[in-house]
Each structure stands twice: as C-alpha cells, then as structure tokens.
Amino acid sequence: MPTIGRLLTAMVTPFTKDGDVDYSRAGDLAKKIILDGSDGLVIGGTTGEAPAMSDEEKLNLYSAVKNAVGVNGVVIAGTTDNNTIKSIELSREAEKIGVDGLLLTVPAYNKPTQGGLLQHFEKITSSVSIPGILYNVPSRTSLNMELKTTLKLSKIPNIIGIKEASSDLDQINYIIKNTDQDFNIWSGNDNETFSIVSTGGYGVVSVAGNIISTQVKKMIGLILEGNIEFAAKEHLRLLPLFNALFFITNPIPIRYAINRSGFDVGPSRLPMIPSSEELGDFSKKFDPIIDQYQIDL
C-alpha cells in the first residue's frame, strides 16, 4: 500500500467552456500540484464539484489524474454519497482503475443514525481492498459523525484515517487522543491545520493546496520539526488567504484564483455559478488579499 502523505490537495476539476470535463487539463493541474509539494490529490470531492458529475466522468477523471501523476503522488477518489449500493459500485470501479484510496463522506440529506453510519462505511470498506479515509463535514451534510462512531470505525483495518471538517476542536483532539498511531487525522479546513497538526494530527486535505502547496507543506514541516514559533508565523501569514477562499461557497473562490493566476481551468458547472453581481462583490474583497501572495501556476 502506498504511503498516504500529510498534504493532500482537494483538486478543482477543469471544465471546458462548453462544460465538458477537461481531462487533459486535469492531468496538467495534477502534475503542477504534486510538483509544488502535495503528496497526493483528492479527486471527485466537494472542491472537484463531484455532485455535478456523472459516475462515468468521475471514473475517467480518476484515470486521467492517476495516469498523469503516476508514482509521484497518490490519488484518493471521492466515491461515496448517501446511496450505499451505488457507493460500493463506484468504489469497486475506482479500485479497478488503480486509485490509491477512497474518500468516505458522511451521507448528506437522508441523515442516518450513528448506527446507520457504521453499517454504511463497514459495507463499503468490506467491498474493496484499498484504504479509505472518512470525511466528516457537518456544514455540507447536516450530520456530525460522533466521536464514538469514528473510534469504532478506526478499528476497521482498511480505514486509515479521517478528514475532519467539523471545526469541533474538542472532538478532533479526542479522536487524536483515543485512536491508534496508524489512524491518521487530516484537517478538513486549511485554517485549522496549524492547530490540528500541532496537537498530533497528521496533515490536511487542503483547498489552498491547489495554489500554495509549497507554503502549506512548509508550515507542516516547521511544526514537525518542533519550530512552533515559525510555524505559527507562517500560519498567520497564510490565514487571510485560507479564509478568503471561503468568502463564498467552495469551490468558487479557488477556481477563480487558479484562473486568475493564468492557469485556465474553465468555469464551474451549475449550480456553482454565481451571478455577475455576486462575483463582482466577491472579487472586490478577494483580489486585494490574493495579490499579497506569490501565486504563479
């Protein structure tokens, strides 16, 4: 099993002007992100606009990105939703393609019980042999995966960690405290990476990694070296950008930032296209902040 590194970037999906997935451009972006310092890529997640893509498009995208990065970076495929049977089918197909792992997202909309969550993830992970990373993101799913549920799931051999985006630092710290060393906790929010890694978390699944992998990796490295003072300074330097990337709904800001840098990833797909008025209001706040950082893709 390949090593799943500390810095995983939740990659934007490039689209053509006609709205088709641009697989060639996706490969180019993937290679740039890995070259800048990311250890791997999460493909087909929220930032990749997976809800607006067909299963066929997702599978073709997993393949294109894995072929592009080869052994230089791992590819984690977002294959799960609130339909357990469909999640198993897509996960099996992604495994056949050769992805390195799966992102196992807490189901949205149907709001299962904690017992239902356990069975959902047990069924999916027992159907594949590649590792899975749980993803708890209550702001998107309206459901928090509770500490006791995460601890039970952490005992399943091919569930190797969790992307925690609950912003409940007590819950996250108790996961860190009460799981084995081989169960890794990735921050699900860039602005919480410093806090989580400093208290024993493993890394981050980063939106900002699309444009500043080098800087995010540097900050994590400083923490691991015990240089907390300089890591904190780097965190505070990057914090305005981390927060700006969520001025409006992700992935609208990060796609805007990539395109603004000169690397064309095309427009979003509906419904992730703001009105011209909304985009204008956003850019007035966002542009002065992003101009403070060296972003050259």
pLDDT in the model for residue 297: 58
| pLDDT level of residue 3 (50, 70, 90 thresholds) | confident
- 249 in a structural domain: no
**∠ CA 196-200-202 to the nearest 5 degrees?**
75
**In the predicted structure, residue 8 carries a pLDDT above the cut 90:** yes
78 φ/ψ angles, rounded to the nearest 5 degrees: -80, 100
| Residue with the two structure tokens 């689209």 | 15
Residues 6+ apart with CB under 8 A from 95: 102, 128, 129, 130
Our count of domains for the chain comes to 1
Structure-token pair, residue 201 = 């978390």
For residues 282 and 286, give the distance between their C-alpha atoms in angstroms, rounded to a whole number. Answer: 6
Does the pLDDT of residue 235 top 70, yes or no?
yes
**Residue 262 belongs to a domain:** no
Q: Is residue 296 part of a domain?
A: no
Token pair listed for 51: 């809800």
> Exposed (0-12), middle (13-18) or buried (19+): which is 196, by Cβ within 10 Å?
buried
pLDDT surpassing 90 at residue 240: yes
Catalytic residues: 135, 163
Q: What is the pLDDT of residue 294?
A: 73
Q: Which domain holds residue 48?
A: 7-228
Least confident of 127-136, 168-177, 287-296: 287-296
Judge whether 169 lies within some domain: yes
- Does 140 score more than 90 pLDDT? yes
> By the 8 A CB rule, do 144 and 122 touch?
no
Residue 138 lies in a domain: yes
Measured distance CA(2)–CA(21) in Å, rounded: 28
Across the range 255-270, mean pLDDT stands at 96
What percentage of the chain carries pLDDT values higher than 70?
Answer: 99
The structure's pTM equals 0.96
Q: What is the pLDDT of residue 24?
A: 98
Measure the CA–CA gap between 144 and 116, rounded to whole angstroms.
13
Q: Is 271 within a domain?
A: no
Which whole number is the average pLDDT over 21-31? 98
**Model pLDDT for residues 176-231, shown as the tens digit of each residue:** 999 999 999 999 999 999 999 999 999 999 999 999 999 999 999 999 999 999 99
Q: Mean pLDDT, the chain, as a whole number?
A: 96
Res 295: pLDDT: 73
Is 278 within the bounds of a domain? no
| Predicted pLDDT at 82 | 95
3-state secondary structure the chain: CCCCCCEEEECCCCECCCCCECHHHHHHHHHHHHHCCCCEEEECCCCCCHHHCCHHHHHHHHHHHHHHHHHHCEEEEECCCCCHHHHHHHHHHHHHHCCCEEEEECCCCCCCCHHHHHHHHHHHHCCCCCCEEEEECHHHHCCCCCHHHHHHHCCCCCEEEEEECCCCHHHHHHHHHHCCCCCEEEECCHHHHHHHHHCCCCEEEECCHHHHHHHHHHHHHHHHCCCHHHHHHHHHHHHHHHHHCCCCCCCHHHHHHHHHCCCCCCCCCCCCCCCHHHHHHHHHHHHHHHCCCCCCC
Asked if the peptide bond before residue 51 counts as cis, ω within 30 degrees of 0, the response is no
> Per-residue pLDDT tens for 246-256?
999 999 999 99
pLDDT of residue 244: 97
Between the CA of residue 2 and those of 34, 71, 101, 196, what are the distances in Å?
Answer: 15, 9, 9, 24
Question: Would you state the pLDDT for residue 296?
Answer: 62
CA 165, distance to chain mean position in Å, is: 10
pLDDT digits (tens, 9 = 90+) for 48-87: 999 999 999 999 999 999 999 999 999 999 999 999 999 9
Q: What's the mean pLDDT in 85-114?
A: 97
Does residue 167 form part of some domain?
Answer: yes
- CATH number, domain at 122? 3.20.20.70
